[in-house]
Amino acid sequence: MLARLRRTLALTSMVLAVAAGTLAPAYADNVVTPGDFTGYGFDQCLTPTQQKMTTWMETSPFSAVGIYISGDSRACRDQPNLTPDWVTTQLAAGWRLLPITLGPQASCTTRDRYLKQVRINPDPTSAYAKAKTQGAAEADKTVRAATALGIAAGSTLWYDIEAFNIAPTDCRESALTFLSSWTDQLHKLGFVSGIYSSAASGIKILDDARALRPGRYTMPDQLWIADWNGKADVYSTYIRSDGWMPHKRVHQYRGGHNETYGGVTINIDSNWLDVGLGSRVGKEPAHCGSVSYNLSQWPTLRPGVSGSAGVKALQCMLKNRGLFAGTVTGTYDTATIKAARTYQARQKLSLSDTWTTRHWLAILTQGAKPVAKIGTADTAVRRLQRALTAAGAGPVSVTGVVDKATVEAIKAYQNATRLPAYGVAGTTTWQGLASGRTG
């Protein structure tokens, strides 16, 4: 009884510290992960080195990565690369982290390695009370590991229960009890619950319990469905279409294989995520009342041009930079040319009364230049989409979210400028656009 009281007090202190932001203060600014996202992710046994992560951020289609942080059943117990600094660095770079625990497995597992380890207790006494205790204890352990790594409260923590025979009643029910208790305890500690499992076993029993025995077990907030059907979406024939929808699923659609980007090879499983609210960006504010920045082409402007949507856009952009004080008229007049030349001088561009593609690319890309790949949602993506259109790789719809059409435009630009065509707008692609390079 005393030991239980001490454990409860310790966990309560931990929860309060997390909520107050006083635990691991060096990492207090870490964002909740994975947040709102729709796009590609990968997972692997051993956490990659920083050099691999940096290269893959710039060259791979992936924006999320699964990392094994806890659990005595992990194959890769030693994780030399996984440190609080590593976690903070990846989050700051834009990676979405999926922290995984691989602890006690189902009692009827047939995998030899798990048979030699602690498994979920199938004793049905007192509604599988022993399994319930195990689930809560594993959640406590996971939260301690996550907090020590600087993973913020509100993040999703994933329990990995590998494939097992779901027919034996006590095995199945004890597994459900364990996972329900895991979820309950995570919620008490301020985290979101996720369960990873084979679509035909762990996922199926959770979905069946949700649909056929509602309220009997606490369901996880998100599912990570292992169904290697090769389809990068969130669907599986083993789960009903209404469960954990929308934006509450991850689909591991391909098992272990090597992929190489930027000369770096990692053995991975491939995943498609649709979580949180999905990839989304806020509504763009109006520009100078009603001036459109979403042009299908960004024309060359010469003195005397009038009635031009391009001139209106330029006048508004220059006005927002404090360089143009006149009225937005759409006429490329003396005042507009003067403001344009001032901008050219400030950006160390060639001075000209004619506003060219190079000038458009400079002004359209001005600002933050984050790595942009499928699923990236950011106001900077709007500038990227406009710049790709101006560079002749479009027209690209300006949505603020990198979709397949945007990826194809990025590849077209990279091919035209002889850059590696990964379909990721990394440092070199942004630099090429900002410098006015089109071929």
- DSSP string across 257-300: EEEEETTEEEEEEEEEEEETT-S--PPPPPSTTT-----S----
Segment 100-115 mean pLDDT: 95
For 366-389, write each residue's pLDDT tens digit.
999 999 999 999 999 999 999 999
The owner of tokens 């500690």 is 189
Smallest Cα–Cα separation from 81: which of 63, 65, 94?
A: 65
Segment 23-42 mean pLDDT: 87
DSSP states of 167-199: -SHHHHHHHHHHHHHHHHHHHHTT-EEEEEEEI
Q: Which residues are CB-neighbours of 301 under 8 A, at least 6 positions away? A: 308, 310, 311, 314, 332, 354, 355
What's this model's pTM, rounded to 2 decimal places? Answer: 0.92
> What band does 28 get if pLDDT is binned at 50, 70 and 90?
confident
- Say what percent of the chain tops pLDDT 90: 92
For 49-99, write each residue's pLDDT tens digit.
999 999 999 999 999 999 999 999 999 999 999 999 999 999 999 999 999
DSSP states of 18-39: HHHT-SSGGGTTPPPSS-SEEE
**Quick one: pLDDT at residue 24?**
52
Q: Output the average pLDDT for the chain.
A: 94
Strands 222-226 and 248-261: parallel
